[in-house]
Each structure stands twice: as C-alpha cells, then as structure tokens.
Structure 1
Amino acid sequence: MKSAAVVIVVFGALAWYVWDYNTSPTGGKAKAEASASAQASEDATHDPNIGDCVKVKDPQGDPLPTIVDCNSPQAEYKTADKLLGDDSHCDSKYAYGIQVHQSHQLDYTLCFTKV
C-alpha cells in the first residue's frame, strides 16, 4: 500500500510539473524559453560579422543592419570591418559606418563597403 502511494505521489508531482511548465498563468516556462530563443535569433540577424551582406533600415536616423544573402537584390553593403571602442570611426575607404552602443558590452563601429 505504501509503495502504491509513493508511485501515485511521484506521478502526481511529475504531472503537476509538466502542466505548470506548459500552462502557468504567465504563459508557462516553455513559452518564455521559446520567446527568449526567438528574440535571440532575431537579434542575431541584426549583428553582422565581417563578410556578411546587409540592408540598412533608416540609414540616416537610427540605422538597423539586417543580414541578407549577398546575392539578394536587398543587399546594400558588405561588412568590411569592426572597430572596437566608442570613439572609433570608419576611414574614407568605407562607404558607410554604424556606431553600436551596448549597455553591458564594449561599444564598436561597423564599417561597410558597397555591394
């Protein structure tokens, strides 16, 4: 009888954990983890590496580079250099530059050439 009670308690606790993980009033831990993963994927599309081609939304205001395929007609610039430091500026050999300011990381400047 005692072992049946232990098995029931273990299965009940496991069922509660699964239910809470997926359906808590705040959307569940699974939804929060999926949302954080989706946000990380979205952020990665706006953080080009050297060699990545980008299109730039609002280049004269608050520029936001988005990585695109280099063979795409949307490709405007190719990332040529990443200069560390908040006071760095792109040389005249580059067509465009974006200064990136981050709250908890080192600021940098992205330098681009025309595609």
Structure 2
Amino acid sequence: MKSVAIVVAICAGLAYYVWDYNTSPTGGKAKAEASASAYADAHDPEIGDCVKVKDPQGEPLPTVVDCGSPDAQYKLGEMLPGKGMHCASEYDYGIQYRNGQKFNYTLCFTKV
C-alpha cells in the first residue's frame, strides 16, 4: 500500500511540474524562458542585420528590426571582438556592446 502511495505522489508531482512549466496562469517557466530568449535574440544583432539603437549617445542598446522597416537606422557591418576596438572609417557609427554576460564587442554600423 505504501508503494502505491509513493507512485501516486511521484506521478502527481511530475504532473504538477509539467503543468506549471507549460501552462501556469502566471505564464509558466516555458513562457519566461522563451521571453528571455526572444529578448536576447532581439538585442543580439549579427552581421547584415538592421537595427534601431535606443539611447545612441548614452548606453546604446541595438534592437534588430526588419531592414525595410522605417525603424531601421543602421546595418551591422562588422563585429570586432574585445572592448575599446575602433571601427574603420567606412562605418558611420560604432558602439561598445556586451552580449549578455558572455563577450564584449565593438559593433560597426553603416546608415540605412
């Protein structure tokens, strides 16, 4: 009888975990993880991506946008690894950027 109660308790715990992870009324952990991933993707441009830069003179934050969008300000041409690097004269704008907690980059942009 004890073993049946243990199996039922384990199954109930697993069922609650799956429910909470995927469909909790507060959004669940899966939604929070997806939101965090989407945020990182939106602010982690790759070469060729167009961006809108929030606070370009203060603490710039590039947000990836569609190149055909009226919000597009710059196109990323080069990513220089390391902090304090200087963009070549062919670029119109450069910012120091930290990719999450991983790496420092100097991003070099041309105007769209």
TM-score range relative to shorter protein: 0.7 to 0.9
User: 1:113 Cα shift?
Assistant: 0.3
What are the ranges of 5 or more consecutive residues in structure 2 without an aligned counterpart?
none
Is 1:72 the counterpart of 2:72 in the alignment? no
* Residues 31-65 of structure 1: CA deviation (Å, up to 9, x unaligned): 23431231121111001000000011110111110
User: 1:8 Cα shift?
Assistant: 5.4
* Pairs aligned (count): 109
Higher gyration radius (CA): 1
Amino acid at match of 2:28: K
From the superposition, tell whether residues 83 and 52 of structure 1 become closer, same or farther in structure 2 (CA, over 3 Å): same
From the superposition, tell whether residues 9 and 103 of structure 1 become closer, same or farther in structure 2 (CA, over 3 Å): closer
In structure 2, what is the equivalent of residue 82 of structure 1? 79
* Residues 82-109 of structure 1: CA deviation (Å, up to 9, x unaligned): 0011121112211111111368533110
Give the TM-score of the pair, scaled to structure 2. Answer: 0.80
Q: Choose the corresponding residue for 1:59, options 46, 56, 61.
A: 56
Is 1:49 the counterpart of 2:55 in the alignment? no
Give the TM-score of the pair, scaled to structure 1. Answer: 0.78
CA distance in 1, matches of 2:11, 2:98: 45
Query: CA RMSD, aligned part only?
Result: 2.8
What are the ranges of 5 or more consecutive residues in structure 1 without an aligned counterpart?
none
Q: 1:101 aligns to what SS in structure 2? A: strand
From the superposition, tell whether residues 76 and 104 of structure 1 become closer, same or farther in structure 2 (CA, over 3 Å): closer
After the TM superposition, which residues 1-115 of structure 1 pair with which residues of structure 2 at under 5 Å, given as runs? Answer: 6-7=3-4, 9-23=6-20, 31-101=28-98, 104-115=101-112
Q: Which moved more, 1:92-101 or 1:52-61?
A: 92-101
From the superposition, tell whether residues 106 and 94 of structure 1 become closer, same or farther in structure 2 (CA, over 3 Å): same
| Alpha carbons 2:53, 2:60 under 8 Å: kept | yes
From the superposition, tell whether residues 73 and 81 of structure 1 become closer, same or farther in structure 2 (CA, over 3 Å): same
